[in-house]
Amino acid sequence: MYVTDQDRFINGACEVETELEPLGLLDELQAIENDMGRKKLIDKGPRNIDLDILLYGDEKVQNERLNVPHIGIPEREFVLRPLAELIPSKPLYASQPWKLVQDYLNDLTPGEPLSSITPLSSTLAPLTPLVPDRKTSVMGILNMTPDSFSDGGRNNLESLSNTVIELVRNGASIIDVGGQSTAPGRPEVSAEEEASRVVPAIELIRSIPETRHVAISVDTYRASVAEKAIASGADIINDVSAGALDADMLPTVGRLGKTICLMHMRGNPQTMTKLTSYPDGLVPTVAAELLSRVAAAEAAGIRRWRIILDPGIGFAKTGAQNLELLRSLEELRAWPGLQGLPWLVGTSRKSFIGKVTGVEEASQRVWGTAATVAAAIQGGADVIRVHDVREMSLVTTMSDAIWRARD
């Protein structure tokens, strides 16, 4: 990981007993590194020894010299694997699915190539797209737009706080905060206005004990909004344009080291409804266009293990194309160059469901949405993005029981 142009090296974890305080222990470890003649010329590059403190009992340390738990743990399988061997009984993250990751890591044959682990936050178990019995994550939509079709504006912090607590109680492990609608033809708001809608929501979620551990995603295609959101505590940037609408987006997320969702779309929300021609086939074209966004993201410094893909249901697609994509998720997941990356699928209440079922009112499209969620999970989705969190969490649990069994 990080610097791949270097010799192979060995990683291990060990448990020690010490009377040293955390900073004293760091001093001791650094003295050993120095004694061994450590030279570090490239950040994360070759060095003859590296001694890090991963955990210190259950203590948390946060100062300019030391962060414990080590902030690199959630994205480093070379750390997770020896840790899982060492402390199989200790869940390292707040949420339950971590146990599954730990069991999975413990089952791996030593020496197997590293598999893929996508961190969502520093407290939530990462996505493990290659684990057959992984649980699908539910991303709950929190619209902070006054024009949203789902639930209107939310100015009142107390009711907002109840809303997010409810989302989490009902099964959301990720909250997707949006300050501007990307539905076809909705008005654009200024970046300042958009940031002023999402930042207070992020701060609020981080301040409520019950929701502090969820991952916060921000639905934006603007780099300046992403930067402010991350500064307020967001973990994931959900960019419906996959970085194409703002040249600063990919470098910003790369620099800040966060996870990004790259969604397939064409044009912008104003023009996309006309851009539905796929003469070389829908699935091959969506795959190829996503491959080029992945390449752009990596070139901008975003780590491959911090990328989530999304077929972009309802974006530059006809109703029939949305259905075809839902049917083809397995093929997309297996596409050469895209294997091992996690997928998010967002179908919730969208108009193709209205078209098929004849339900005009978006908020009444719950049953139709349920069928799409089941289909997405059958196709291998790792995250589903929904409005009706309670109902769709039940659909997810049931779909996982059917499709995410180990055999």
Ligand X SMILES: Nc1nc2c(c(=O)[nH]1)N=C(CO)CN2
Q: Which residues bind ligand X (CB under 6 A)?
A: 182-183, 219, 238, 240, 261, 263, 310, 313, 344, 346, 385
CA–CA gap between residue 282 and residue 198 (Å, rounded):
34
Instruction: Label residue 216 exposed, middle or buried (CB < 10 Å: 0-12, 13-18, 19+).
Output: buried
70 binds ligand ATP (CB under 6 A): yes
- Residue 44 annotated in active site: no
Catalytic residue among 258, 303, 350, 365: 350
Catalytic residue among 258, 306, 333, 385: 385
Contacts of 333 (CB under 8 A, 6+ apart): 129, 339, 341, 343, 379, 380
85 binds ligand ATP (CB under 6 A): no
* Best CA proximity match to 301, nearest among 234, 243, 229: 243
**Least distance from C-beta 22 to Mg ion, angstroms?**
14
Residues that bind Mg ion (CB under 5 A): 50, 52
**Least distance from C-beta 38 to Mg ion, angstroms?**
9
50 binds ligand ATP (CB under 6 A): yes
Instruction: Label residue 305 exposed, middle or buried (CB < 10 Å: 0-12, 13-18, 19+).
Output: buried
* Best CA proximity match to 290, nearest among 244, 246, 256, 323: 244
Contact indicator for 230, 216 with CB cutoff of 8 Å: no
355 binds ligand ATP (CB under 6 A): no
Output DSSP code: residue 93.
Answer: S
212 binds ligand ATP (CB under 6 A): no
Site string for ligand ATP, 94-133 (x = CB under 6 A): ----------------------------------------
Residue 109: strand, helix, or coil = coil
**Least distance from C-beta 311 to ligand X, angstroms?**
8
26 versus 376: smaller Cβ distance to ligand X:
376
Choose the one of Mg ion, ligand ATP, ligand X, none that binds residue 66, judging by a C-beta under 5 to 8 angstroms depending on kind: ligand ATP
60 binds ligand ATP (CB under 6 A): no
The letter for the amino acid at 342 is P
**Least distance from C-beta 141 to ligand X, angstroms?**
8
**Least distance from C-beta 170 to ligand ATP, angstroms?**
35
Contact indicator for 61, 22 with CB cutoff of 8 Å: yes
77 versus 219: smaller Cβ distance to ligand X:
219
359 binds ligand ATP (CB under 6 A): no
- For 36-161, strand residue ranges (E) read 61-62, 67-68, 137-143
CA dihedral 75, 76, 82, 85 (to 10 degrees): 20
126 versus 178: smaller Cβ distance to ligand X:
178
* Best CA proximity match to 73, nearest among 45, 104, 101, 48: 101
Near ligand ATP by CB under 6 A, which window of 62-70, 111-119, 160-168, 183-191? Answer: 62-70
Near ligand ATP by CB under 6 A, which window of 50-58, 143-151, 345-353, 356-364? Answer: 50-58
Contact indicator for 229, 220 with CB cutoff of 8 Å: yes
DSSP 324-352: HHHHTHHHHHTSTTTTT--BEE--TT-HH
CA–CA gap between residue 4 and residue 361 (Å, rounded):
52
How does 26-50 read in b/e, with b if 16+ C-beta sit within 10 Å?
beebeeebeeeeeeeeeeeeebeee
Contact indicator for 285, 278 with CB cutoff of 8 Å: yes
22 versus 243: smaller Cβ distance to ligand ATP:
22
216 binds ligand ATP (CB under 6 A): no
**Least distance from C-beta 67 to ligand ATP, angstroms?**
4
Among 23, 31, 34, 44, the residue binding ligand ATP under the rule CB under 6 A is: 44
- Residue 349 annotated in active site: no
33 versus 331: smaller Cβ distance to Mg ion:
33
**Least distance from C-beta 64 to Mg ion, angstroms?**
15
The binding site for ligand ATP (CB under 6 A) comprises: 26, 40, 44, 50, 52-53, 65-68, 70, 72
List the catalytic residues: 350, 385
